[in-house]
Amino acid sequence: MFTPHGNHLIAGAWVPGGTHFPSAPATGPSHDFSIGRVSDVNAAVEAAEDAFASYGSTSRAERAAFLHAIADEIEARAEAITAIGTQETGLPEARLQGERGRTTGQLRTFAEHILQGDYLDRRHDAALPDRAPLPRPELRMMQRPLGPVAVFGASNFPLAFSTAGGDTAAALAAGCPVVVKGHSAHPGTGEIVAEAVLAAITKCGIHPGVFSLIQGGNRAVGAALVQHPLIKAVGFTGSLAGGRALFDLCAARPEPIPFFGELGSVNPMFILAAALTSRGAEIATGWAASLTMGAGQFCTNPGIAVLRAGAEAERFIDTATAALSAVAPQTMLTEGIASAYQDGQRRVAATAGVRELLTTSCDTRTAAPYLYVTEARTWLDNEILAEEVFGPLGLVITAESDAEMLEIARALQGQLTCTLHLDEGDTAQGQTLLPVLERKAGRVLANGFPTGVEVSDTMVHGGPYPASTNFGATSVGTLSIRRFLRPVCYQNIPEALLPEDLREG
């Protein structure tokens, strides 16, 4: 049985804090954890800068071995991670086991990806000494790591988007040391994963400053971390309000740095006429399952369904209502998230022109589904209905025409995903909607549901603001490594001085 000691991990040492906060697990005992201090941030970041001198120049093979070692050490603690993760978050064991597999899988995927070397985007313009009117020097270019990176753990993914999750794995793959600010929703899970990273550091002989974990409990720690002059980039997954505040701090620094924030999205689905007629009930049932998966606590949760008004729409609504009615209340990650869900539900319900289809009751830590319907014009006239409600709340928007559906698409804010449900008879309308939707989202899908994000070379998990703060990046997949790199051009540099990956041999 794993019992947390509650300390920070800073440059290979477990460091106690002066004050503590108690964890608030869904089940099981509470534990005390050190509250982060600005002095802890300074120590961790300075150690990361010291580590960068060696880690930033490691070979791809060395970094790949390190990533594999982290995955091995996480798997060695599999049962203990699942046990404390389920206690802290209330997520079922199967979900934690699957998320652990995704976490180790992306570490291994990134390891294999950097071994291939394509991500370096190496280029070479040979010298042209006889070119007229001016000779051309020899030019070589490749991607180089930025330096120390700050990563903020996410509330809804205690493994895949937290301590050794996607942002950490991408930064380490790129050659950047990482300082993690742990999330107070699952500090024990963060601690045991940090133990796994430390074991890998020791096994591989890596500078211990390459990774530090500072526990939460103090918002000033996050501000100090993103404002530290040695931090060169930030990875964040969380709320729009919290992410925007940190983004503004990054932009206001004497040296502004990139803030890669994945914030919020309602992930609309457009259900076109032929598909609605032929398989509306199937789509409605699938939507209900996707909407309530994990108590709706996924950033890709499809909160809005847009369809043409009429008898088929009514059948869709009836089927979705019945399917959602059968879903029992589920434990949410924290009482704060459950409270925010109820606030969002009340906001939607209080909007004129919105009709309740399914209403339920929730306690301080559980969530049950809600379903509402409104007309297109009401949605278009009320920006509040376009805001994310983090939880299993669905909103059906009925449009009077294809033109009105297009108007809704054009009015969307930036999204992580947009979905088209269409059959062959819907091709013409799909051709009209797709050019609009691809400007709104990082991922556009057909005849599926966006919950479930593949870790692959092609995945884009990002989108125009407010889905993310950098529409040219992704926080999932191998392309995410590029966030923590920058291109450097080497002009007439002797081969002996070049990085190993740029040498002719």
Q: Which residues are catalytic?
A: 262, 299
Looking at the DSSP bridge assignments, the partners of residue 486 are 144
Q: Identify the H or E element spanning 124.
A: strand 123-125
Closest CA to 13 of 216, 189, 225, 209: 209
Alpha carbons 338 and 148: distance in angstroms, whole number: 34
CA 333 to centroid of chain Cα atoms: 16
Query: Hey, how many other C-beta atoms are within 10 angstroms of the C-beta on 80?
Result: 16
Alpha carbons 409 and 414: distance in angstroms, whole number: 11
Closest CA to 241 of 261, 266, 270, 212: 261
245: tokens are 């505040």
Q: At what angle do helices 93-116 and 60-76 cross, to 10 degrees?
A: 170
Q: Which residue blocks in 382-447 are alpha helix, DSSP H?
A: 402-411, 427-440
Going by C-beta distance under 8 Å and a sequence separation of 6 or more, which residues neighbour residue 258?
Answer: 233, 234, 250, 470, 483
Q: Is residue 228 within 8 Å of 42, Cβ to Cβ?
A: yes
